Amino acid sequence: MASDQHLLTYFTTMDNQGSIIVRDTPKLDLDLYISNYQGRSCFERLLLIGQCSVPLCVDALKAAIAEAKSGKDIQRYRDAWECMRIAAPDEPEAVFDQAWVTSTEKSNKVETHRLEAELKGYKNNLVKESIRIGHRDLGEHLEAIGDLNAASETYIKMRPDASTQAHIQDVGKHIISIMLQKGDWPGVSGNINKVLLNGSSEQQNADQPYQKIVSGLALLGSSKYYDAAKCFLETGDSTIAQQHNDIISLNDIATYGGLLALASMDRQELQSRLLDNSSFRTYLELEPHVRKAVAMFVNGRYSSCLAILESYQADYLLDIYLQKHVFTLFSQIRSKCIIQYFVPFSCVTLDTMNAAFAKPGESIEAELVSMIKSGTLNARINTIDKLLVAVSVNPRAATQKKALDTAKNYENEALERIRRMSLASAGLEVKGSHKIGGNSLPGVGDIWYESGRGQVVPSESAA
């Protein structure tokens, strides 16, 4: 019971900080899930799960602490421990390991000094390649101990000494990796072009997965879902993509690609770009439910599609890149389903709509109202007969109205033009008199008040 109490206070504080709390148990298995990843993103993922998921909280935090201790980043350890301390103070991991912190701190300092001294030596020798390697080593070390800004600066210093295309690409990748960790999406988009090589097509093929993954993430981060979806769908060779599991796993590519495509593409595009896409099929095989959901959507079984996605919502919410966008994506997919559902009909009863889309006992009407208001659904609600009625366009009437409006506008414009020409030729324009004088409002003070006007606008006496 006591531990529940701790968890409650923990999640209350988390909630107050505005982070998302996931109460449902996700379908993922924590160990299996995390074994898909390598590198620094492991810790971020574990900490996020620890902060957001109620059922997995303690396990994830334990794993996060273990992960932090296996590395050199003291701040990460502190973060994870801080969470652990509140969430489960009774666990052995909740005791602060001062000895590890002191020793790591010390060894980090020694290592930094060593690398800096080495770099100085290289600089004195003026060997370009050595200087570049020196910078890279120092940068990687700084990144590992969590000093991202310094790491990024050091990586940038590699650039003057980069002599081949491959080196320049290397610099770009290092900088992008820092930007991904900082969530600097525009920065990632800006740098991704520098990684592009104009070498042979073979080389380009090998680099394609990396480019597509990173630009996909950057576009997702900037909420450009359609472009992001296209990137993920074009990732290409999965064996190469596998090498980039410090950024993203193959399962993630399937999920991101599928979800984003569902939210942003129409049926035909889904079929041709996603389901008929042979290179993407290998990814979809890892996440069959995504494939199923898309297939359901394409086949018009919208409620099943939504049900599948709904059941995986907890998983999506525990993903570091997807979390912020899950609710937007879901509502977009939902709106699309409703629109698609309604397309073949001129009139649908609200009861049928409720049965297809609303939770039991709830009505979809409010949602329909907001969709119609925002212009996504072109229909009208009939609350008396409980119907949703499609708006019939009447091109003849529209054309008639347009013709009459055009004639009217032409007439008005012609008159106004003649009037303005006359005014100009009579020299009746309002002139900006004294350019910059004591009066800050040029011309505003001019006198138009006349004796006869007193009663016309009584307020004028105030002017």
Partner 1 sequence: MDKLAPTLLAVPVEGPVDNATYDAAVKNHVQKLSKILKDQSGDIISHGSNFLELLDPSVHSLSYLAILHTLLIPGPATSVSRDTLLEKLLIFLLTFDPIQCRYAGSHLHDLFLLAGGGDILPPSAAVEALATAILRLDPTGSMLTTAHVCLARLAYSTNNVEPALQAIDKNIVFFPGMANPTEPKYLCDISLPPPAYVARETGLTGTLKPPQVMEYDLLCGLMYCSRREWAKAYAAFERIVAFPTREGGVSKIMVEAYKKWVLVSLLLKGKLVDTPSYTGASASKFYGSLAKAYTSIAVLFVADDARELKAEVDKNTTTWLDDGNGGLVKEVLAAYQKWRVLGLEQIYSKISLSEIRQQTTSAETGAPLAKDDDVEMLLQNMIISGMLSGVIEKNDDGTTFLTFLSPSTNLSEQGVAQELASSAIRLKQLQPLFKATRDRLGTSKEYIKHVIKEEKRIEKSEPDPTLAFDAHVDDEDLMGGVIATG
Residues 287 and 254 sit within 8 Å (Cβ to Cβ): yes
Binding-site member from 100, 123, 414, 439 for partner 1 (CB under 8 A): 414
Q: Does 401 bind partner 1 (CB under 8 A)?
A: yes
Calpha distance 463→455 (Å, rounded): 14
Q: Does 422 bind partner 1 (CB under 8 A)?
A: yes
Element (H, E) at 388: strand 387-390
Tell me how far, at minimum, the Cβ of 118 lies from partner 1, in Å: 44
Q: Does 426 bind partner 1 (CB under 8 A)?
A: yes
Q: Does 441 bind partner 1 (CB under 8 A)?
A: yes
Other Cβ atoms within 10 Å of 44 Cβ, number = 16
Q: Does 436 bind partner 1 (CB under 8 A)?
A: no
Binding-site member from 411, 437, 438, 439 for partner 1 (CB under 8 A): 411
Tell me how far, at minimum, the Cβ of 351 lies from partner 1, in Å: 16
Q: What DSSP designation does 53 have?
A: B
Binding-site member from 344, 361, 427, 437 for partner 1 (CB under 8 A): 427
Name which of 8 and 421 has its Cβ closer to partner 1.
421
DSSP per-residue codes, 170-234: HHHHHHHHHHHHHT-HHHHHHHHHHH---S-HHHHHHHHHHHHHHHHHHHHHTT-HHHHHHHHHT
Q: Does 339 bind partner 1 (CB under 8 A)?
A: no
Q: Kindly state the tokens that stand for 36.
A: 């898909």
Binding-site member from 196, 343, 355, 463 for partner 1 (CB under 8 A): 463
Q: Does 355 bind partner 1 (CB under 8 A)?
A: no
Binding-site member from 424, 437, 438, 439 for partner 1 (CB under 8 A): 424
Give me the sign of the Cα torsion angle 440, 441, 442, 448. Answer: negative
Give the Cα-Cα-Cα angle 343, 347, 349 (nearest 5 degrees).
110
Residue 235 has φ and ψ, to the nearest 5°, of: -55, -45
Calpha distance 349→260 (Å, rounded): 30
Distances (CA, A) of 424 to 49, 411, 412, 421, 428: 71, 20, 18, 5, 6
Q: Does 366 bind partner 1 (CB under 8 A)?
A: no
* Residue of 79, 95, 89 whose CA lies nearest to 44: 79
Name which of 343 and 407 has its Cβ closer to partner 1.
407
Tell me how far, at minimum, the Cβ of 222 lies from partner 1, in Å: 29
Binding-site member from 29, 113, 418, 439 for partner 1 (CB under 8 A): 418
Binding-site member from 95, 110, 355, 421 for partner 1 (CB under 8 A): 421
Calpha distance 114→91 (Å, rounded): 37
Binding-site member from 201, 429, 437, 438 for partner 1 (CB under 8 A): 429
Tell me how far, at minimum, the Cβ of 354 lies from partner 1, in Å: 17
Q: Does 423 bind partner 1 (CB under 8 A)?
A: yes
Calpha distance 133→157 (Å, rounded): 11
Q: Does 440 bind partner 1 (CB under 8 A)?
A: no
Element (H, E) at 380: strand 379-382
Q: Kindly state the tokens that stand for 162.
A: 């980069």
* DSSP SS3 for 319: coil
Q: Does 380 bind partner 1 (CB under 8 A)?
A: yes
Which range in 146-154, 171-179, 316-324, 385-393 contacts partner 1 by CB under 8 A? 385-393
How many residues lie near partner 1 (CB under 8 A)?
Answer: 60
Q: Does 457 bind partner 1 (CB under 8 A)?
A: yes
Q: Kindly state the tokens that stand for 425.
A: 């030729």
Tell me how far, at minimum, the Cβ of 102 lies from partner 1, in Å: 59
Tell me how far, at minimum, the Cβ of 353 lies from partner 1, in Å: 15
Q: Does 381 bind partner 1 (CB under 8 A)?
A: yes
Calpha distance 96→98 (Å, rounded): 6
Q: What DSSP designation does 456 have?
A: T
Name which of 164 and 434 has its Cβ closer to partner 1.
434
Tell me how far, at minimum, the Cβ of 433 lies from partner 1, in Å: 7
Q: Does 407 bind partner 1 (CB under 8 A)?
A: yes
Q: Quick one: how far is CA 1 from the chain centroid?
A: 38
Tell me how far, at minimum, the Cβ of 450 lies from partner 1, in Å: 8
Tell me how far, at minimum, the Cβ of 355 lies from partner 1, in Å: 21
Residues that bind partner 1 (CB under 8 A): 369, 372-373, 380-385, 387, 389, 392, 394, 397-398, 400-401, 403-404, 407-408, 410-411, 414-416, 418-433, 441-448, 452-453, 455-460, 462-463
